[in-house]
Structure 1
Amino acid sequence: MRKPQIDYAAVFRALPGMVALLTPELVYADANDDFVRLSGRTREQLVGRYIFDVFPENPNDPAAAGMRETETSMLRTVDTGERDTMALLRYDIEDPARPGHWQEHYWSPVNAPILGSDGKVALIAHRVEEVTDLIRAFGGPGGDNRARALEAELYNRARELQEVNERLRAAHAREREVALALQAAMLPPPGPTGTHRAAVRYQPAVGALNVCGDWYDLVDMPGGSLAVAVGDVVGNGLAAACVMGQLRSALSGATRLAGSPAQALDALDLYARSVEGAESTTVVTTFIDWDSHTITYSCAGHPPPALMHPDGTVIFLDQATDPPLGARPERAPRPQARMSFTEGSILVLYTDGLIERRDEDIDTGLARLADSLAHHRHTAPEALADALLTDLLPPAGNTDDTALIVLRL
């Protein structure tokens, strides 16, 4: 069956209810048919004009505040990049056929951001529910009092909803701050790695709720070898950050006692089955032997580490991949594989936020990582880590956390 061709401009104009698009300067960019019809203005009278030139406030009503409240809501949407729901609003509109005559309207507006490619607000979607007829339905004997009572009730309910939304936003922001502080405390800079320079990065997700459970770790092993690992807990928020801390500590301890990466992940899998929220966590760990110039690795459902040779050739360590932690009904030994490296190579471990995008195959993200590594192959680890984040993450930030380790071998 052929995919239908959609005319989105026609869809916008046919949307039920009043919807207009405005620039961040509050200038009309477009309006749908219902907005044109119910506002009593033609599209030509709207597009390209400042909103309050088209709809000035009623000068005959000293208590009028519709313009001020609408402007405040729209500018808040531009500043925060978040949807803003306004309380029930009385906004008188001048009759275009009778200058000086004002018609009473009751609107329930919502302002939503439309982001541009740079992540900034490019347009405001201004949707209005026209409830004037509902207010007027309370006419007749005593109707004025009932209409005022209904108006006051709707206004108070909308105000309560707006206050609840503001409290929720504040609570989410506090949770994000606590989770970020917890992650920062548990993800310190790497210790000395001898002559092998390492760079680590943790890039939080954008949005008040999207702090996740990504982590990294570098462990000095008995005999002088080095273990490097990254992991990703399913979920977000403070709970995921707490689970992350438990798993990171458990893997760090298991790594010091285990004889191989597979054994370390076996021990972590056993521990994760007793930790609520740890199921389906992904993790990859590598043991680096400087004497034999080999990397032994094991992967539990995680994107494969990238090994870049000095000539810019990139190989993904994907020969020891197994399901995430706790995914099997019964435990089974984890696989592991070994890869040789030459001095001066670069090892990169990362979480899926660096490469995965919802609208593309993971191989596309891996190819993008390989291209970026090859392009910056002569760059030192610290600068290379920054270059990878710049090349691979969206300019407006990602909806998933990103943990990254860059190690020169």
Structure 2
Amino acid sequence: MSDTEIDYAAVFQALPGMVALLTPQLVYADANEEFLRVAGRRREQMIGRHVFEVFPDNPNDPAASGVRNLEASLHRVLATGERDAMALQRYDVESPERPGEWEERYWSPVNAPVIGPDGSVALVVHRVEEVTELIRARGGRGAGGRARVLEAELYTRARELQELNERLRLAHAREREVALALQEAMLPAHTQVRHPGAAVRYRPAVGALNVCGDWYDLVDLVGGRRIGVSVGDVVGHGLEAAGVMGQLRSALSATSRVAVGPAQALDVLGRYAHVVDGAESATAVTTFIDFDHHTIAYSSAGHPPPVLVHADGRVEFLDRATDPPLDARPDPVPRPQATTSFDPGATLALYTDGLVERRHEDLDIGLTRLADSLARHRADDPETLADAVLLELLPHGGATDDTALVIVRL
């Protein structure tokens, strides 16, 4: 039987467990028959309604936390695009026939994302394991005391896990805050970019620690109207990545001012990365732009290629001088370098992989999307162009990896 012959709607309804589909706005899009049966709801009481309108908090029991924990789990899935399995939860479920009457239930939920074509979460699969009857059955077989102890232990352990998760979340959030402040201090501010034809952007990831590995830099070069433009990406996240990022950016900035070309600058940076803990497999690409001779010399250490959009709309990926990441070889060898030309009015874009990489999607799709956006908006000024590219390429709600972008009007 081929996939086209399978009635997946019928399969969904026949699933033996409780399964519902939620939109990113946490509205019920569908629920299978088992979910409706166990939850005691009719389809018209659920579909099209917000999950916490159907299953609200019990106002008579402020200690009940199942609804609040479920809300936090669903938002984690939407923010990270990752599956979230919850500990056993106690819920007070209001009777649909007798408003104001609440029944104590025990559910064990798992929430999983369905990723859409743009890389964002299109739906959330909400699966629930019902264990209320098991606890009741144990209490009804003459072992009521033991069942109540087990029930209390399960509930206590769930609360302890939730409290631990909350403490970890707060610790991660604090580290994220410090790491972002450190990165902001090390990266050149928007107002410090002295080149009128350049625009820079940095967007942190939406996760707690998935930040601070990306960097960018613009430097004046000696000998005519020349500038060096670079971007890089450090493997890892948080404070450690921010520290490594700062060291590599500063080293390349200094090296570029005295190197004869971008390949030599990356050669020196690679040797420096060899003695920096945490710099293993970091990537970088640097370009030397000569406005007098209308040329761009470039070299890449394992980084996605810069994009040159010519004034007539033709797109050129600068991918003829790509080498392994920094510190990838035990014995460094000279890196390759290539040169291309441009006419006034062209646009150069350097970026990090958070702009183009998406789960379950080939990288070429993201590169094509970037090239199309740059070409369509090439007539815009650099600041407007940078905003348009981020708006079109970053997933709604933010990416799970940080993103750096530099636009230079040539």
The two structures share one fold, judged by TM-score above 0.5: yes
Look up the match of 1:239: 240
Look up the match of 2:265: 264
1:61-72 → structure 2 map (5 Å cutoff): 69-72=65-68
Q: Secondary structure in 2 aligned to 1:269?
A: helix
Matched, 1:273 2:269: no
1:186-197 → structure 2 map (5 Å cutoff): 186-189=186-189, 191=192, 193=194, 196-197=196-197
Look up the match of 1:179: 179
Distance 1:4 1:250, change over 3 A: farther
Moved more, 332-341 or 14-23: 14-23
The whole-number CA distance in structure 2 between the counterparts of 1:24 and 1:284 is 36
The whole-number CA distance in structure 1 between the counterparts of 2:343 and 2:56 is 72
1:91 shift after superposition: 4.8
Tell me which amino acid in the other structure corresponds to 2:362.
D
1:286 shift after superposition: 1.1
Look up the match of 1:289: 290
1:256 shift after superposition: 2.0
Look up the match of 2:165: 165
Residue by residue over 1:8-44, the C-alpha shift from the partner in whole angstroms, topping out at 9 and shown as x without a partner, is 4344344453334467898755433443454566667
Contact 2:288 2:297 in 1 (8 A): yes
Q: Secondary structure in 2 aligned to 1:182?
A: helix
Residue by residue over 1:275-303, the C-alpha shift from the partner in whole angstroms, topping out at 9 and shown as x without a partner, is 22212211111112233222111111111
The whole-number CA distance in structure 1 between the counterparts of 2:345 and 2:220 is 20
1:160 shift after superposition: 0.3
Q: Secondary structure in 1 aligned to 2:176?
A: helix
Look up the match of 1:35: 35
Tell me which amino acid in the other structure corresponds to 2:68.
T
Q: Secondary structure in 2 aligned to 1:234?
A: coil
Contact 2:297 2:337 in 1 (8 A): yes
Look up the match of 2:109: 110
Distance 1:44 1:390, change over 3 A: closer
Moved more, 69-78 or 253-262: 69-78
Contact 1:22 1:126 in 2 (8 A): no
The whole-number CA distance in structure 1 between the counterparts of 2:70 and 2:272 is 50
Tell me which amino acid in the other structure corresponds to 1:347.
L
Structure 2 unaligned spans of 5+: none
**What is the aligned residue count?**
400
Tell me which amino acid in the other structure corresponds to 1:176.
R
Residue by residue over 1:84-142, the C-alpha shift from the partner in whole angstroms, topping out at 9 and shown as x without a partner, is 8465426578799xx99x9976413437375796968866725233143245325555x
1:239 shift after superposition: 2.1
Distance 1:378 1:134, change over 3 A: same
Contact 1:203 1:403 in 2 (8 A): yes
Distance 1:65 1:136, change over 3 A: farther
Q: Secondary structure in 2 aligned to 1:112?
A: strand
Moved more, 82-91 or 226-235: 82-91
Contact 2:21 2:123 in 1 (8 A): no
Contact 2:66 2:91 in 1 (8 A): no
The whole-number CA distance in structure 2 between the counterparts of 1:204 and 1:54 is 35
Look up the match of 1:320: 321
Q: State TM-score, norm by structure 1.
A: 0.82
Look up the match of 1:347: 348
CA RMSD in angstroms, aligned pairs only: 3.8
Tell me which amino acid in the other structure corresponds to 1:107.
Y
The whole-number CA distance in structure 2 between the counterparts of 1:197 and 1:90 is 58
Contact 1:214 1:230 in 2 (8 A): yes
Moved more, 245-254 or 388-397: 388-397
Structure 1 unaligned spans of 5+: none
Distance 1:283 1:144, change over 3 A: same
Distance 1:381 1:144, change over 3 A: same
Look up the match of 2:303: 302
Tell me which amino acid in the other structure corresponds to 1:156.
T
Look up the match of 1:311: 312
Q: State TM-score, norm by structure 2.
A: 0.82
Contact 2:233 2:283 in 1 (8 A): yes
Moved more, 295-304 or 144-153: 144-153
The whole-number CA distance in structure 1 between the counterparts of 2:262 and 2:375 is 28
The whole-number CA distance in structure 2 between the counterparts of 1:339 and 1:199 is 22
Contact 2:212 2:238 in 1 (8 A): yes
> Aligned residues: percent identity?
58
Tell me which amino acid in the other structure corresponds to 1:110.
P
Q: Secondary structure in 2 aligned to 1:137?
A: helix
Contact 2:19 2:125 in 1 (8 A): no
Residue by residue over 1:48-96, the C-alpha shift from the partner in whole angstroms, topping out at 9 and shown as x without a partner, is 67879988999xxx97679x64443455456664658465426578799
The whole-number CA distance in structure 2 between the counterparts of 1:353 and 1:263 is 27
The whole-number CA distance in structure 1 between the counterparts of 2:50 and 2:293 is 71
Contact 1:74 1:124 in 2 (8 A): no
Look up the match of 1:219: 219
1:172 shift after superposition: 1.8
Contact 1:73 1:111 in 2 (8 A): no
Distance 1:65 1:229, change over 3 A: closer
Contact 2:228 2:288 in 1 (8 A): yes
Distance 1:8 1:167, change over 3 A: farther
Look up the match of 1:363: 364
